[in-house]
Structure formats: C-alpha cells, structure tokens
Amino acid sequence: MIFKKIILLLCILGVVSTLTAQSMYQQFADSEMKRFPEAWQLDHGKRLYFGYSQGLGCLAMLKVAEKTGDKKYFNYVEKWADTLINEKGEIHLYELSAYNVDFVNSGKILFELYEKTKKEKYRLAIETLVHQLKYQPTTLEGGYWHKLIYPHQIWLDGVYMTGPFLAKYAKLSKQDQYYDKAIDEILITAKHTLDTRTGLYYHAWDESKKQAWANPKTGQSPNFWGRSIGWYFMAVIDVLDELPLDYPRRDQLIQLAQSLAKTLANYQDDEGLWWQVIDQPKKERNYQEASVNSMFLYAYSKGINKKYLSESYMALVHKLYQGIQGRLLKKENGLWSLVQCNAVAGLGGNPYRDGSYDYYVGERIRENDTKATGPFIMGCIESGF
C-alpha cells in the first residue's frame, strides 16, 4: 500500500514517530475491546441495543478482522448480533413504527455476518430493515425523512445510515433499484444542503421550512457541523465502493467526492485538523473535534486508495494524522484514547436544538465516542497507520 511505504520512509527519516508504523488500527481496536469487553458497551452503552454507534464500532472491528485474520474481532461483533437477533430475524428493541434511519446503520454488519456464518436470521434482519426503507416517509423528491418525529427533514447523518446499506443490499439481492435509491439519497441531499458560496454542506434541510432552525427561504439549517459533513463524505465514498464500475451516475458521485475533498482542504488548520463548527476555527468555544477528523481520515484515505481522489491528498492525510496524534490521541494505562469527541448533536426535539453556533459548541464533549473511534480505526486501516 502506498501509504504504508511512505510512512515507513518517513519513520526512517525521523519525520514521524515509529508509532505510526505499528498498526495503530489494531492497537486502538484492542484498546476499545478492553475498555468495552462487550460490543453493546461501545460508545459507553448501558444496555443491549441495535444502536447506530455500536454498529459503526462493530463495522470497524470487522474491518480489523479482515485485515489481520484474527477472529477475535469477528467474534466480538458476532456475539453482539447473535444476542440481538432471534431466529425469526427479529431485532431486540427495534421499532418499525419509529421510521428512524439510525436503525439501518447497524444493518451494514449483517451482510458479512450472513456471508460468514450462513445464519438465516441475519438475512431476515436485513430484510426487516429493507422493509422499513420501503415505507420510510420521504420528501416530495423521495429523500428519506430522518425520523418520523422529524417530518420533512433530511439530515446529512441519515445519508450515511441508509446509502451504503442500500448499495450493499443491491449487490446481495441483485436488484439495481437499490443502487439507484442510494445514489438518489446522496444527490437529493446535495441539492438541498450544499452552500454554493463555500462548497460546504449544511447539517439539514426542512422541506416544509417550518422548523425554527430552518432558513425561511431555503429550509437549510444555519451552520456547518463538522461531523455531519463527515457522515456525508463517508457515505459517498462507501456507496461508490459498492457500485459497478459502469453504473449510471457513478461519475456524478465521484465528482461530488472530488469537489468536497477540494473544499474541505481549504478548512484544514495549520495543525492538520478541522473544527466542530467547520468554517469558524478558533472562534470562542470552538474546538478541534475528534469524530470529524477521524471521518475525514477515513474518507480521504479510502478515496485515494480507490482512486476516486487524487494521490496529491496524501500530504493532507499525513498532516491530518499528525494533528490527531498531537492533539486528539493519548495513551494511559496501556490503552489508546481519542479525546475531544462531541457526544451528540441534532436538531429540534425537546429541549429544542436550534442549530446555532452556540448550540454546537455547547454540546457535551467526552472521550472514546464511537462516532470518532470507529472511523479512526477504519481510517488507520485505509491509510496504513
């Protein structure tokens, strides 16, 4: 891998520490498993639940299993899924009536579990989630509402939850309509959340324009939240990974990824990092946030490896990793941790989240949030760290 060769050369030259040549992805995955011995505990989980954060962390563990050949990572994930899903394919605490796209994200791990174990219950659970998406409420153009309780709203987060899952299902079922739906999700969202002045994407769009956070003319939310753009960037890259090479509109997604990559490079700071509110670095209370940087590490690195993005971005990736290493990564008591993770952010609800700058910088910060650690592990795999 090109990344690995460059890192080894840099280590020889003393440009970066030897730490980066020692499979950080495996070291960090091992730290997560020691910190959270059961996969339901990922993201500081308190109960057995088909949560999107646990699904993201487990997806990273499956990639470590594939990379290393060590079954302990696969077994960690399979034990979680096996406990959650009964023989009928019913998912513990899953509620179809919520029409919540977050549920769909964990479904991504079921494709590999089904392939490796041949347990029919995993295939049935996949079909349960596909059934949800068949009836998920949508905007007039067909973009999924984020949840039933958030009517008429498309969030960038939701594109990651649904798009790659749909593309994986298209491959499994050999039904191209699901490729088309995954592409639709990305392009419809871009149409309504892209800010043409900056090239950045707003966190969400309200078709009804009735939400207090929505611009009354455009329906867009008021700020550029780093992690939401990270979700979207990863979604585009992961959907491309599933599409046949000659599939219609594939080139549009590649162009979108390239445009976003170019835009984001303009907002990388001198230390190689991006901030919670991405276009206002160093403003009071803003901070270099771990999940957005981990997500960009993954999206840029995979995009380069798959040749969706230019190899010229490798310098950006190395600067990013050095920034994470210097500012966001620490080791205590033998375990690696990521700090400065935004625990959660959203829009609407009760108490009401207004999407303001003060809202985003005021949300809770913690360590080892899986929205940061999962993409960090996957980013390190892709970049060879």
- The catalytic residues are 157
Using alpha carbons only, what angle is made at residue 297 by residues 314 and 71, rounded to the nearest 5 degrees?
115
Among left, alpha and beta (phi > 0; psi -120 to 50; other), residue 248 is beta
Residue count of the chain: 385
Which CA distances in Å does 315 have to 51, 375, 379? Answer: 35, 19, 15
Instruction: Enumerate the H helices of the chain as residue ranges.
Output: 2-13, 24-35, 52-68, 71-84, 102-105, 108-117, 120-135, 156-173, 177-193, 226-242, 250-265, 290-305, 314-323, 357-362, 370-383
Is-contact 340 328, C-beta < 8 A? Answer: yes
Look at residue 150 and give its three-state secondary structure.
coil
Query: CA 269: distance to chain centroid?
Result: 21
Q: Is 156 exposed, middle or buried (0-12, 13-18, 19+ CB in 10 A)?
A: buried
Cα 123 to Cα 111: distance, rounded to the nearest angstrom: 8
Which neighbouring-strand residues pair with 330?
Answer: 337
The single residue listed with the structure tokens 């298209």 is 170
